[in-house]
Structure 1
C-alpha cells in the first residue's frame, strides 16, 4: 500500500476520535490559563523582590507554569492515538490492511507527531503572550535574548512528551496500563527524584526534567551539567528509545 494512503488512513482515524480533539484542546487551554493565573499573581510580587531575586526571576518560564498540567493532556493524547486500536481490537484490521508494520507504525507516529507539534507550538506561544500580558511591566519580549528559543522549545517539549507516550503505549499496548505508569511518572515520581538530594543527579536526566531546560531563559543556580539544547537532546534520546521499543514490540508480537 502506498505510504500516502497509509498516512491518509491514520489521519482519518485520529480526527474521527473525539477524545483526541478534547485532549489537545485541554492541553492548550489548561497550559495557557494556568500560565496566565500564575503570571497575574506574580505581577504584584516581583516588584517587592530584592535586586538579587529580581535577577533570578524568569518571566518567560513563569508563563509556562501550566506546562506541568497541560503536558498530562499530551500524555493522554499520545497514549490514546496508539493504544485505542488495541483496546477496541481494530489493530487486527489495521495490520491486515497494512501488513508492512514499519510503514504502519511510521505513518501513525508521523501523523500524530505533526498534530502534536501544531498544538504544542500554538500552546507555547499562547501561554507566553498571555502570561507576559499579565506580568505587565515585568514582562519579557519575544525579541529578548533566549526568549524565542524558550518559546519554540516549549512547543517542542510538549510534542516530545506526546511522542514519548506513543512509544510507551506501543510497548505496553494497553491504555490503562500506559496511563497508569506515565501519569504518576510525570506528575509525581519525576519531580520527587529531581528534587530529593539523594536522587537529584539521576532525576535531572529524566525526559521531562532534561527537556524542560529549553524553556528557561534565566539559568537556575545549580550544578546541572548541560544547557537548554543539550537537555532537549537528552529528551530526544528518551523518545527515540521509546519509539524503538514500541516498534520492536509491534514487529515481534501478534495483534
Structure 2
C-alpha cells in the first residue's frame, strides 16, 4: 500500500517534469496581468467618457481583474492536462499499478496540482491588482480599502478552483480533447453569451465561473451590471459545490470503470 506522502511526491515530480505545466501556468499569469494592465490604462485615459452610472459604480479592483476571463482558460488547460495526459499517454495503467488505491491516487494528483494552481493564482492576483491600480492612477484604490483584500485573495482562489474543477471534469471524461472541447467553449462563449439573455441569465449566474467571479467584485452592481441574488462569499461557495461535484464525479468514474 503506497503512503500518501510518497504518492504526493510522485505526483509533484510528474507535474514539474512536464513542460506544458510551466507554459500553461505562465500563460495564465501573462494573460491575466497583461490584459488587466491594458484595460486599467485604457480606462484611466478614458474615464471622463464613461456614463454617469458607470462612474458611480466604478470598481477599480474588478477592472484590474478583467484579464481573468481569458487567463482562466490557461488554468483550464493546465487542469485538464494534469489528468488527461494520464489517459492519452497510457500512463494511467502504470500509475494505478503503482498506486492501486484509486482514491489516494486521484486525491494526491489533485492536491499537488491544485496547490500549485492556487499558489500561481494568488501570485497572479496580487501582481495584477497592484499593477492595475498603478495604471488607474487617481481612479485606483488600495489594498486597505473595504473588501479589497477579500477580492484580491478571492481572485487567486478563483483561478486555482477553476483548475481543480477542470481536473475533476477530465477525470470524468478521461480525455483531454473532449474535456477542452466542452470547458473552453462553455466558459469562453456560452456562459458569457447566455448571461446577457433574459431568463437564461437567471440560470447561468449559478454556473461556476459566473458565481465564483463575484468574489472579485467590491462595488455592488459594478459598472452597471445586473444585481445578484447572492453575495461574493456565497458565489464562491456555489463554485466550491461545482468543484466538489466534479472531483467526486471523477472519483466515481475512476473507481467504477476499468482503465
What TM-score, normalized by structure 2, do the two folds share?
0.96
Aligned 8 A contact 2:220 2:227 in 1: no
The answer on whether the counterparts of 2:110 and 2:164 sit within 8 Å (CA) in structure 1 is yes
Once residues 144 and 232 of structure 1 are traced to their aligned partners in structure 2, the CA distance between those partners, rounded to angstroms, is 21
Deviates more, 1:10-19 or 1:38-47: 38-47
**1:55 positional shift:** 1.9
Q: How does 1:170-185 map to 2 (within 5 A)?
A: 170-185=171-186
Q: How does 1:151-190 map to 2 (within 5 A)?
A: 151-190=152-191
Gaps of 5+ in 2: none
Report the alpha carbon displacement of residue 108 of structure 1 after superposing the two structures with TM. Answer: 0.3
Matches within 5 A, 1:1-255: 1-49=2-50, 52-220=53-221, 222-255=226-259
Conservation of the 8 A alpha-carbon contact between 2:118 and 2:157: yes
- RMSD of Structure 2 on Structure 1 (CA): 1.0
What do residues 28-53 of structure 1 show as CA deviations (whole Å, max 9, x unaligned)?
01100000000000002223446543
The question of whether the paired residues in 1 share the 8 Å contact of 2:61 and 2:217 is answered with yes
Deviates more, 1:233-242 or 1:187-196: 187-196
Cα pair 2:194 2:200 within 8 Å, conserved: yes
Deviations 1:189-211 (A, max 9, x none): 11122111130100100000000
| Residue range with higher mean Cα deviation, 103-112 or 220-229 | 220-229
Per-residue deviation, residues 6-48 of structure 1 (Å, max 9, x unmatched): 0000000000000011000110011000000000000022234
Q: For this pair of structures, how many residues does the alignment match? A: 255
TM-score computed with the length of structure 1 as normaliser: 0.98
Determine helix, strand or coil for the equivalent of 2:144. coil
Which secondary structure state, in structure 1, belongs to the residue aligned with residue 94 of structure 2? helix
How far apart are the structure 1 equivalents of 2:152 and 2:87?
A: 35
Q: Secondary structure at the match of 1:195?
A: coil
Q: Which whole-Å CA distance do the structure 2 matches of 1:237 and 1:129 have between them?
A: 30
Residues 124-174 of structure 1 deviation map (CA, whole Å, 9 limit, x = unaligned): 111111111110111110100011000000001001100100000000011
